Amino acid sequence: MTLDELFEVAPFSLPKAQKAAVFTAPLKALTAHHVQHCERYKQILVAMGLKVEDIQTLEDIPFLPTRLFKSMELRSVASQDIVKTMTSSGTSGQAVSRIFLDRDTSALQTKVLTRIVSDFVGKQRLPLVILDTSEVVKNRQLFSARGAGILGFSMFGSKKLYAFNEHMEIDVEAMSVFLAEHAGKSIMLFGFTFMVWLHFVQALERSGFRPDLSEAILIHGGGFKKLTDQAVSKAEFKARLNKVCGISPKNVHDYYGMVEQTGTIYVECPQGNLHTSNFSDVIIRRAEDFSVASIGEKGIIQVLSVLPRSYPGHSLLTEDEGVCLGEDDCLCGRFGKYFRIEGRLQRAEIRGCSDTYASSV
């Protein structure tokens, strides 16, 4: 099955044996592509004694630490072919990753993001409320991870509203008009977790404004660490959302993703599990020797994606810890591995859009 053929089937439809047969070869080919077109990537693999021809299984695909993109310019296309430069989130003084996209890679990322999110919200575009300020997306050439997230999810909106003004306050009048215009219809909300909590949930609790979002679906991401530090669990997050605006907990979906693999996100199903798609996979590795951890064993998360062509970001070792909970047998019915995030590695920098924003405020 080719990459084009993957787009012809549902994004969570390949069971383990079938996925293994079609997923490893493209990643091996991407590794060879980046060896040929990115001299620094080639030098890294040579220094590690790794050869493309030795790759036999998914676990053999060499990985780069995500932190490397903060200190190195890694790209596999000529500078004149770069149409977009993405930057990661970071607190003041932190170095940020710089990810270089050509037209083909950017288009692939958009196409896959559409396939994944549509599986949770439906194929029809919905009225979209962005729980953020439009000030974030002013610079279209140099995208921050936060701005890229907003623009990426904006394509799911038939009409869109930025719910916050430049002071990150709810524009009650604009939101009331927007919801009245779309009364009785399904709508989609998008935001970053801590901002949703601080500027929406808590703001609504203080104000008494109670928008009717009983027909809404919320997609949120960017890190949950700052809420867990405040002893706010996912269950409480969903319960208090429901109380202030009526949104059903089963329609609140966290997602895990990073600027180094934009477009490849892992969305939380109604069972509370994050899912790999036909276009992605995760491997949990033991910290002591990077061997593959067992189901249910905590380790460092490696993320794999068939999308990155303009830069060698197809296999990355993150600074997050997680647990693979199973494969092909989640009660939500989706095939593929499903997992949960346990948190950041000790002494790792804060980097998610949500958590870096929380640190700044």
In Å, how far are 110, 301, 339 from 267, measured between CA atoms?
16, 15, 10
CA–CA separation, 299 and 269 (whole Å): 22
Helices 103-121/145-154 angle, 10° precision? 60
| Angle formed at CA 68 by CA 67 and CA 69, multiple of 5 degrees | 90
Fold of 3-360: Rossmann fold (3.40.50)
Q: Where are the alpha helices (DSSP H) in the chain?
A: 3-6, 16-37, 39-47, 68-71, 103-121, 145-154, 172-181, 193-196, 202-207, 225-229, 234-245, 353-360
CA–CA separation, 247 and 239 (whole Å): 9
Q: Which distant-in-sequence residues (6+ apart) come within 8 Å of 217 by Cβ?
A: 120, 121, 126, 186, 187, 188, 189, 251, 252, 253
Number of C-beta neighbours around residue 264 at 10 A = 27
The helix or strand, by DSSP H or E, that contains position 192, with its residue range, turns out to be strand 187-192
Q: What would the pLDDT profile of 73-102 be if each residue is shown by its tens digit? A: 999 999 999 998 888 865 555 788 899 999
CA–CA separation, 194 and 262 (whole Å): 20
Q: 5: exposed, middle or buried (C-beta count within 10 Å: 0-12, 13-18, 19+)? A: exposed
Q: Which distant-in-sequence residues (6+ apart) come within 8 Å of 39 by Cβ?
A: none
H helix and E strand count, the chain: 12, 15
Is residue 105 helix, strand or coil? helix
Q: What is the pLDDT of residue 96?
A: 86
Give the confidence band of 226 by pLDDT, cuts at 50, 70, 90.
low
Question: For the whole model, what pTM was predicted?
Answer: 0.89
CB 321 within 8 A of CB 343: yes
Q: 13: exposed, middle or buried (C-beta count within 10 Å: 0-12, 13-18, 19+)? A: middle
Q: What is the pLDDT of residue 343?
A: 87
Residue 228 has pLDDT above 90, yes or no: no
Residues in the chain, total: 361
* Mean pLDDT over each residue of the chain, to the nearest integer: 90
Q: Where are the domains of the chain?
A: 3-360
The proportion of the chain whose per-residue pLDDT surpasses 70, expressed as a percent, equals 90
Q: What is the pLDDT of residue 233?
A: 86
Q: What would the pLDDT profile of 303-354 be if each residue is shown by its tens digit? A: 999 999 999 999 999 999 999 999 999 999 999 999 999 988 876 554 555 4
Q: What is the pLDDT of residue 358?
A: 47
Higher per-residue confidence, 326 vs 222: 326
CA–CA separation, 193 and 329 (whole Å): 28
CB 341 within 8 A of CB 224: yes
